[in-house]
């Protein structure tokens, strides 16, 4: 695991975007796992600028969403399929039908989840997975107590997550769906490289528990400790509770020139 501490949310976005650019240049047909939430938004903007400048292209790449609410109508603005189109994919050059998400409005959600796993497998698996983190340490919508080997499935949100996400629903917690479908922790751990972005002091506790705490299903992001290639990009505020922060800074600042993120 590599922890990169940056001076601001914008610098965190720039660092994370450089990881995506590197992965895309190494493999133009990259299968990218995309996350919603506010954490990756600046990074998505940075990537859109890179496409505009012809520095990179997503034309041969594919994208798979981490998760989706259950029961929101097809054009609901907070449906994650709509959110990711609005905040990222429409601003870059993915081909037609190259962006996928789990079907949260299927009549048979269990089957939709199985199909989503098959779609990811048929694409050859996710090469680079972008992640945010919830204040309770969730990744995707894998709430505390999620099995560390779980696959895409139906989950019930905690009240803490519904309250946190109410800001996207006119601050009305009752409008936040109770149920979601999400890639499991096992699904996420199958990706080749995990890139987690967290900024702001409200994420500091979750980051410290995920990076330095014990491996536990009570902090789903602690499962990242099991993965051989993880990059965690945080700003100073989100790094506040990391007891090895100086070591992470020193490691990053003394990286050999041949070693990329």
- Residues at the contact surface with ligand GLP, assessed by CB under 6 A: 35-39, 66-67, 132-134, 140-141, 161, 165
Task: Select which of 67, 68, 190, 235 is catalytic.
Answer: 67
- Quick one: 67 or 117, whose CB is closer to ligand GLP? 67
Dihedral pair phi/psi, residue 230, rounded to 5°: -130, 130
Task: Select which of 117, 143, 190, 235 is catalytic.
Answer: 143
Q: Is 73 a catalytic residue?
A: no
C-beta of residue 219 within 8 angstroms of C-beta of residue 143: no
The tally of CA atoms less than 13 A away on the side-chain side of residue 248 is 23
Q: Is 107 a catalytic residue?
A: no
Contacts of 85 (CB under 8 A, 6+ apart): 99
Task: Select which of 117, 136, 190, 235 is catalytic.
Answer: 136
CB of 19 to ligand GLP, least distance (A): 17
CA-to-CA distance for 226 and 260, rounded, in angstroms?
21
Q: How far apart are the first and last CA of the chain?
A: 11
- Quick one: 102 or 127, whose CB is closer to ligand GLP? 102
CA-to-CA distance for 206 and 137, rounded, in angstroms?
5
CB of 37 to ligand GLP, least distance (A): 3
CA-to-CA distance for 127 and 123, rounded, in angstroms?
10
Q: Is 241 a catalytic residue?
A: no
Sign of CA dihedral 136, 141, 145, 146: negative
- Quick one: 5 or 133, whose CB is closer to ligand GLP? 133
CB of 135 to ligand GLP, least distance (A): 7
- Quick one: 37 or 102, whose CB is closer to ligand GLP? 37
Task: Select which of 68, 117, 138, 193 is catalytic.
Answer: 138
CB of 31 to ligand GLP, least distance (A): 18
- Quick one: 166 or 245, whose CB is closer to ligand GLP? 166
- Quick one: 56 or 194, whose CB is closer to ligand GLP? 194
CA-to-CA distance for 173 and 165, rounded, in angstroms?
8
Q: Is 27 a catalytic residue?
A: no
- The DSSP code sequence of 190-245 is TSSEEEEEE-SGGGHHHHHHHHHS---TTSGGGGGGG-S-EEEEEETTTTTT-TTH
CB of 12 to ligand GLP, least distance (A): 12
CB of 169 to ligand GLP, least distance (A): 12
Catalytic residue set: 67, 136, 138, 143
């Amino acid at each position: 695991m590599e922890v990169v501490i940056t001076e601001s949310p914008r610098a965190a976005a720039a660092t994370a975007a450089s990881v995506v650019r590197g992965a895309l240049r190494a493999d133009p047909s990259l299968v990218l796992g995309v996350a919603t939430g506010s954490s990756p938004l600046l990074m998505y903007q940075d990537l859109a600028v890179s496409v505009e400048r012809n520095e990179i292209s997503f034309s041969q790449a594919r994208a798979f969403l981490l998760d989706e609410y259950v029961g929101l109508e097809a054009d609901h603005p907070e449906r994650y399929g709509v959110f990711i189109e609005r905040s990222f994919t429409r601003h870059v050059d993915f081909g037609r039908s190259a962006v996928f998400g789990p079907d949260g409005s299927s009549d048979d959600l269990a089957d939709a989840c199985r199909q989503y796993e098959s779609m990811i497998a048929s694409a050859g698996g996710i090469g680079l997975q972008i992640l945010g983190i919830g204040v309770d340490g969730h990744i995707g919508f894998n709430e505390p107590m999620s099995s560390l080997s779980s696959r895409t499935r139906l989950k019930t949100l905690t009240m803490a997550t519904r309250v946190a996400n109410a800001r996207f629903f006119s601050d009305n917690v009752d409008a936040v769906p109770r149920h979601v479908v999400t890639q499991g922790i096992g699904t996420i751990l199958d990706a080749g490289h995990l890139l987690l972005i967290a900024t702001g002091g409200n994420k500091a506790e979750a980051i410290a528990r995920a990076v330095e705490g014990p491996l536990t299903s009570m902090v789903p992001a602690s499962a990242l400790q099991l993965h051989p290639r993880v990059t965690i990009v945080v700003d100073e505020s989100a790094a506040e509770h990391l007891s090895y922060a100086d070591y992470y800074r020193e490691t990053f600042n003394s990286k050999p020139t041949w070693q990329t993120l």
